[in-house]
Structure 1
Amino acid sequence: MASRAVIAPTEQNQPRGENKQKNMGVEGRNRKVLQDIQNLVINPADLGANANVTKRLTRAQLAALAQAAAEKNKNFVPATRVEQAQKPAESEVIVISSDEESEEVKEKQAVRERKIRERSTKKIVKTFSSVLSARSKAACRVVPKDFVENIDASDKENELAATEYIDDIYKYYKLSEDDVRVHDYMASQPDINVKMRAILIDWLIEVHRKFELMPETFYLTLNIVDRFLSTKAVPRKELQLVGISSMLIASKYEEIWAPEVNDFVCISDNAYVREQVLVMEKTILRNLEWYLTVPTPYVFLVRYIKASTPSDKEMESMVNFLAELSMMHYATVSSYCPSMIAASAVYAARSTLERSPFWTDTLKHYTGYSEEQLRDCAKLMASFHSAAPESRLRAIYKKFCSSDRCAVALMTPAKNLSSES
């Protein structure tokens, strides 16, 4: 294959030629390989007067020079690679790529074009069933199911939220709640009944509000009372003593500034003396084996209210109203575990406030309960809500009739749960 020869610069143009020679070397290494352009190797001696031409020649000039050289030497043979290596150093030769390399490029280009043609000619085949399903979805306007929302995403920067461990914590709560769950114990109590228990809790709610205690204290108090009554028979005259002693223990556990013993003696209208309260406190702790770190319904309420998105003050007040109202009734406490009571309160509250849908995939994920599992307990709560205005035990009803709790007790009970019940 022919090569292109470049005329070496003259001595008078040597400084400028040196810079061009350096640039030519770099440019030669980086330029793309050329095809055969039928250039001829020309001897500088044959150029005569044109020997001093510069390196940059036009195609017309090169063609004229090549024709003149061909006429002069009819037996011209293209220079081979060996001849190029033997040429004087004054003419720099650029080697053009071989025919084999050009054939490889052409072969790759042909394969690439064949693949493009195959992709363009390939037809998209749709099955009959897929077409029908797509048309039916478009006609029925199928709404996709709710996705599970990450309710802890906003608390990642809050170290107190413990977002890395919160799921494991509640898994432990669900596993350990059966250990402290209260079962039916009224058969073992000869001197008290369900009504007396409701009267005691109604009074404890007023005491709780009077001392302005935390919600955790109220739920732990009821847990202590029920667990103690399930282990020991209590006379009717000591039932109130069990109540104030349980609240004293819960206050010491949950509150920063717990009420003193004398405060409970005064609020019970001096029905008991200080020593009786302390003796009952020791008796309760001994029977419960000092086991006070228990998952109450309030522990689950905090989590499930957060999962009931979007949550607001009205929703929170309604959930707490239904939960506290159900805790006063022995049928709820003895039949359902704390997590189910909390989940049912959220479900009944959403039904009462007509938050659609009543139960979401997010709530099902975080509570572990389906709507069907909660329906029976939610019916009980709706019936308690309906009977609250006419009940003699009105402490909870009055508490949630106030404007600071959005007066949720005055709202109409859930129609979908009340009609079924």
Structure 2
Amino acid sequence: MDFRTLDQNQAPIKVPEENKQKKEGGTRRPLQEISNLVDFHPAPIIKNLGALSLANDQRQAEKNKEKNQEEPRKQLEGRDGKKVTYKLEPENVIVISSDDEEEIDEKREAVNQKKKNLSGNRSNRKKKKIHSLTSVLTARSKLACGLASKPRDQIVNIDAADADNELAVVEYVEEIYNFYKLTEVENPLFDYMPCQSHINKAMRMILVDWLVEVHTKFELLPETLYLTINLIDRYLSRKIVSRRELQLVGISSMLLACKYEEIWAPEVNDFICICANAYTKEQVLAMEKAILEKLEWNLTVATPYVFLVRFIKATVPSDKKMENMAFYLAENGLMYYQIIVSFCPSIIAAASVYVAMHTLNSAPVWTETLTHYTGYSKEQIKECAQMLVRLQLASKDSKLKSVYRKFSSADKDAVACLPPARHLNCQ
């Protein structure tokens, strides 16, 4: 007899001899297929007895739960004669069939999709600004009244047309003007007239007016005149001169400027002749050497002319009349000592262009391109512009008319005869 112990409280079970023979032959059926007195449920092998008992308790609890969930069903006949099974539901308990679950799942998916679409619309609404009716009407009202904000002007590349011009040195033009700005800051012209005991502002104005006439007589380049006046002011700020030497300083400075700027410079005898032989050749050459020594041979300086050429080019589109008007205002300002010592050359040039645009009624008057290339806003050049307008108003009644006559000619578009921009003087 073969005995197997299935439980501690269960009696041994006798196995028939024929089963024993099948075991020896290897044809014995698995234990779970034996339909005898034992209701066997396979379970994993757990060595820990405490864990085994806990697993048994869990299985028993699951069985009880399944039994409690099983409820009596009632069969009724439908209208078509078929039997329909209804589940009797307890009170306060909602039982959902498989069809209802599918329907709810579909509804849940629809709700989720709707939420996604709503979030997507909100994100799109953030990306794309939606204008309300009030904002649209307000914008239309501003546009009708001329209060709508204008688009900001774009900065024009004024050197693009000269890309193939080797003489324009487009690759270095920005560095060149940065150097000019640096030199005018490092070498400012201070108020030197209180240190001069023999000359005054009026004498300097007479000298500059005469040099403008000489410059026109010799048909010299514009940059020669600006460099001449720069050399005079720099020398007078370092050396006290007598009244008799003032004209000598003037012609010697122009001689130096001609040698620096002109291709064919006038000779010394030409300047002696223009002075009615008031000085000798030796005196002119001696003064020329004295000026170079005092200025340490530094002739490469920033004058209003170098900035005028650049700033006029930035008045897109620029024309000859605009150029003549700006040069007239700048040369008229060179005669007045107060402008020379109060403002640096770049501000004088920018203010001259600004007043010229107002005089010629150019619109817009001060663009983003001009602000970029000049480095100044309208507020920064306003004071200098007002002084230039006052000098322009007084030029017709002044006794020193060399600049006025020069720019009243037809080849200069008679810009000196145009009415000044009086509204700038009132601002």
Task: Tell me the TM-score normalised to structure 1 length.
Answer: 0.69
Query: Equivalent residue for 1:140?
Result: 142
Q: What amino acid maps onto 2:238 in structure 1?
A: T
In 2, Cα distance between the equivalents of 1:178 and 1:221? 20
Cα offset, 1:388, TM superposition: 0.5
In 2, Cα distance between the equivalents of 1:272 and 1:179? 35
Question: How has the CA–CA distance of structure 1 residues 410 and 303 changed in structure 2, closer, same or farther, with 3 Å as cutoff?
Answer: same
In 2, Cα distance between the equivalents of 1:306 and 1:128? 41
Q: Which moved more, 1:141-150 or 1:398-407?
A: 141-150
In 2, Cα distance between the equivalents of 1:316 and 1:134? 45
Alpha-carbon displacement from aligned partner over 1:198-232 (angstroms, at most 9, x marks no partner): 00000000110111110110000000000000000
In 2, Cα distance between the equivalents of 1:405 and 1:128? 55
Is 1:355 matched up with 2:357?
no
Matches within 5 A, 1:306-325: 306-325=313-332
Matches within 5 A, 1:242-261: 242-261=249-268
Query: Equivalent residue for 1:373?
Result: 380
CA contact (8 A) 1:332 1:377 kept: yes
In 2, Cα distance between the equivalents of 1:298 and 1:159? 21
Query: Equivalent residue for 1:125?
Result: 125
Cα offset, 1:167, TM superposition: 1.3
In 1, Cα distance between the equivalents of 2:225 and 2:153? 35
Cα offset, 1:166, TM superposition: 1.1
Q: What amino acid maps onto 1:298 in structure 2?
A: Y
In 2, Cα distance between the equivalents of 1:311 and 1:217? 23
Is 1:240 matched up with 2:247?
yes
In 1, Cα distance between the equivalents of 2:367 and 2:240? 43
CA contact (8 A) 1:180 1:294 kept: no
Query: Equivalent residue for 1:409?
Result: 416
Give the counterpart of 2:224 among 217, 221, 224: 217
Matches within 5 A, 1:42-81: none
CA contact (8 A) 1:307 1:363 kept: yes
Please, which runs of 5 or more residues in structure 2 have no aligned partner?
Answer: 1-112
Query: Equivalent residue for 1:150?
Result: 157
In 2, Cα distance between the equivalents of 1:352 and 1:261? 40
Alpha-carbon displacement from aligned partner over 1:328-369 (angstroms, at most 9, x marks no partner): 100100000000000000001111111122211110010010
In 2, Cα distance between the equivalents of 1:204 and 1:152? 34
Cα offset, 1:140, TM superposition: 2.2
Give the counterpart of 2:310 among 291, 303, 312: 303
SS of the equivalent of 1:236 reads: coil
Query: Equivalent residue for 2:297?
Result: 290
CA contact (8 A) 1:348 1:414 kept: yes
In 1, Cα distance between the equivalents of 2:297 and 2:135? 62
Alpha-carbon displacement from aligned partner over 1:272-305 (angstroms, at most 9, x marks no partner): 0111000100000000000001111100000000
Alpha-carbon displacement from aligned partner over 1:35-78 (angstroms, at most 9, x marks no partner): xxxxxxxxxxxxxxxxxxxxxxxxxxxxxxxxxxxxxxxxxxxx
Q: CA RMSD in A?
A: 2.2
In 1, Cα distance between the equivalents of 2:294 and 2:353? 33
Question: How has the CA–CA distance of structure 1 residues 262 and 417 changed in structure 2, closer, same or farther, with 3 Å as cutoff?
Answer: same
Q: What amino acid maps onto 1:206 in structure 2?
A: E
Is 1:169 matched up with 2:173?
no
Is 1:200 matched up with 2:207?
yes
In 2, Cα distance between the equivalents of 1:128 and 1:250? 63
Cα offset, 1:379, TM superposition: 0.3
Query: Equivalent residue for 2:4?
Result: none
In 1, Cα distance between the equivalents of 2:316 and 2:155? 11
Query: Equivalent residue for 1:77?
Result: none
The structure whose Rg is larger is 2
CA contact (8 A) 1:181 1:338 kept: no
Cα offset, 1:134, TM superposition: 5.4
In 2, Cα distance between the equivalents of 1:130 and 1:362? 33
SS of the equivalent of 1:213 reads: coil
In 2, Cα distance between the equivalents of 1:285 and 1:339? 24
Query: Equivalent residue for 2:196?
Result: 189
Query: Equivalent residue for 2:237?
Result: 230
User: Which structure shows the higher helix fraction?
Assistant: 1
